[in-house]
């Protein structure tokens, strides 16, 4: 018997993601960073970000761009939020695993054509403790906004206080993504970083006004990314600069550059499209012109209101300092002091730059009159520095051997990461001699090749 209520048509099943399809936070206002998203995705699985990347991302991310193993990209982890191939490869991998197709907005990829990488991103993590505290108090998701990772942004655009870069508990900085990163917590001491205490900025009122404007306009620019139909054209920066030069300086590039206090040759290259200004330089130009950077990059130039444009103040006329004339008595006295500095047994010896500062003369001036003495002072300083460096390497090698023995006595495999955690100066592991000492110590102590043993 056929039932009219029975519908035999196949209901389409939406595609399923391999990993949890975690939505990104604040894309339309205060957007999340990719490094923060990775930390939140790992948190959802109750694993460390380093484990998530090593097991799920590293196998499918191009090794040519550093891969996705945190152990191999610690020094370049800021690039995950940037404009390069490393960011692009990780974004593609995460989008395929989570089926979230807007993860490129968590990076600076939409601005690849207009912002050079130099000075674009911070090398260490920065945060606003008031944001953290408010999100936790209101039972909101705690995350890491991309605007905090931008090098030109010094303050929180919401709470107008300086961004913090050192943990108040352990006084150490964090990488943008550590093996054990967790939004809102220090990756070193694991303590909560939120606070409702507003810090008092040491900036002057004029400087504070500018950095607040920069933070707000960058936040607004990043919020535009999800709405873009295509990425901004590289030629737009040159076109906009020419437009302002024509309107405010009657086409005189040199005069306009002087008013902005920018070298005219540099500014000419920007207007010509040969070079791109850094984000920080472009923000300062936009601030002088009273133009939000989003308008500078996207608004139709014909629609810009000329009455809102502000011609930068004239640069102060600075008279050129008159050349100093040194008489024979002064030069003889200077030569005597240089010889005394060379013969001195003070440890550490002064560099040529320090010697010149002590004598109250410019280093080039001294070198021009007494090149041989200056060379000997520099050689003495360089020789001392090389000796100290060699001693430091030897100390690091001895420390590596000691740490390996300690770990072996505790039945712990002496991996590079574990050894570095116990070293006073783990940075010395980047030198070949110290790494060789680590390898020799493992062999000498019969350390198992398999860390799991």
Query: Which fold would CATH assign to domain 233-308?
Result: 434 Repressor (Amino-terminal Domain) (1.10.260)
Indicate whether 318 pLDDT > 70.
no
Interval 423-434: pLDDT, tens: 888 888 888 888
Interval 226-243: pLDDT, tens: 998 888 888 999 999 999
Between 265 and 67, the higher pLDDT residue: 265
| Token pair of 140 as six digits | 């909101």
Is residue 319 very low, low, confident or very high in pLDDT (cuts 50, 70, 90)? very low
pLDDT number for residue 313: 47
Query: How confident is the model over 383-395, as a mean pLDDT?
Result: 89
pLDDT number for residue 315: 41
| Token pair of 232 as six digits | 């901004």
Q: Find out whether 182 and 142 touch, Cβ atoms under 8 Å.
A: no
Query: How confident is the model over 60-74, as a mean pLDDT?
Result: 75
Distance CA 207, CA 217 (A): 15
Percent of the chain with pLDDT over 90: 47
Query: How confident is the model over 409-414, as a mean pLDDT?
Result: 86
Interval 183-236: pLDDT, tens: 999 999 999 999 887 666 677 888 889 999 999 999 999 999 999 888 888 899
pLDDT number for residue 250: 87
Q: How many residues can be counted in the chain?
A: 453
Distance CA 19, CA 99 (A): 8
Q: What is the mean pLDDT of the chain?
A: 86
Percent of the chain with pLDDT over 70: 89
CB atoms within 10 A of CB 379: 12
Sketch the domain layout of the chain as residue ranges. 16-225, 233-308, 328-385, 393-444
pLDDT number for residue 267: 94
Between 310 and 39, the higher pLDDT residue: 39
pLDDT number for residue 28: 83
Query: How confident is the model over 398-404, as a mean pLDDT?
Result: 90
């Amino acid at each position: 018997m056929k039932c009219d209520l029975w519908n035999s048509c196949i209901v389409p099943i939406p595609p399923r993601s391999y990993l949890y399809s975690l939505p990104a936070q604040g894309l339309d206002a205060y957007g999340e960073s990719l490094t923060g998203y990775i930390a939140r995705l790992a948190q959802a699985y109750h694993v460390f970000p380093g484990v998530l990347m090593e097991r799920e991302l590293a196998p499918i991310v191009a090794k040519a761009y550093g891969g996705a193993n945190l152990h191999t990209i610690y020094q370049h982890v800021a690039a995950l939020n940037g404009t390069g191939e490393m960011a692009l490869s990780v974004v593609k991998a995460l989008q395929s695993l989570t089926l979230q197709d807007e993860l490129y907005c968590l990076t600076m990829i939409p601005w690849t054509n207009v912002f050079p990488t130099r000075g674009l991103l911070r090398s260490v993590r920065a945060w606003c403790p008031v944001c953290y505290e408010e999100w936790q108090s209101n039972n909101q998701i705690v995350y890491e906004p991309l605007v905090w990772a931008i090098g030109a942004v010094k303050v929180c655009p919401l709470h107008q206080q300086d961004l913090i870069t050192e943990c108040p508990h352990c006084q150490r900085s964090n990488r943008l993504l550590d093996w054990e990163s967790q939004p809102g917590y220090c990756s070193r001491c694991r303590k909560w970083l939120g606070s409702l205490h507003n810090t008092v900025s040491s900036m002057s009122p004029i400087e504070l006004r500018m950095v607040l404007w920069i933070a707000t306009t960058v936040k607004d620019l990043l919020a535009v990314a999800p709405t873009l139909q295509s990425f901004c054209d590289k030629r737009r920066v040159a076109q906009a600069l020419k437009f302002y030069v024509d309107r405010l300086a009657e086409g005189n590039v040199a005069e306009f550059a002087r008013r902005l206090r920018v070298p005219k040759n540099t500014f000419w290259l920007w207007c010509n499209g040969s070079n791109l200004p850094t984000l920080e330089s472009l923000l300062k130009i936009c601030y002088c012109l009273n133009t939000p950077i989003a308008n500078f990059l996207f608004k139709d130039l014909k629609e810009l209101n000329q009455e809102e444009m502000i011609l930068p103040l004239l640069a102060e006329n600075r008279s050129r300092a008159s050349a100093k004339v040194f008489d024979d008595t002064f030069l003889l006295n200077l030569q005597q002091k240089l010889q005394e500095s060379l013969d001195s047994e003070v440890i550490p010896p002064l560099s040529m730059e320090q010697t010149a500062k002590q004598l109250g003369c410019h280093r080039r001036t001294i070198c021009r009159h007494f090149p041989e003495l200056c060379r000997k002072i520099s050689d003495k300083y360089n020789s001392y520095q090389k000796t100290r460096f060699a001693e430091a390497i030897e100390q690091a090698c001895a420390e590596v051997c000691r740490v390996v023995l300690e770990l072996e006595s505790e039945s712990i495999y002496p991996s590079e990461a574990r050894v570095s955690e116990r070293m006073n100066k783990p940075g010395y592991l980047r030198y070949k001699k110290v790494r060789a000492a680590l390898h020799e110590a493992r062999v000498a102590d019969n350390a198992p090749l398999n860390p799991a043993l």
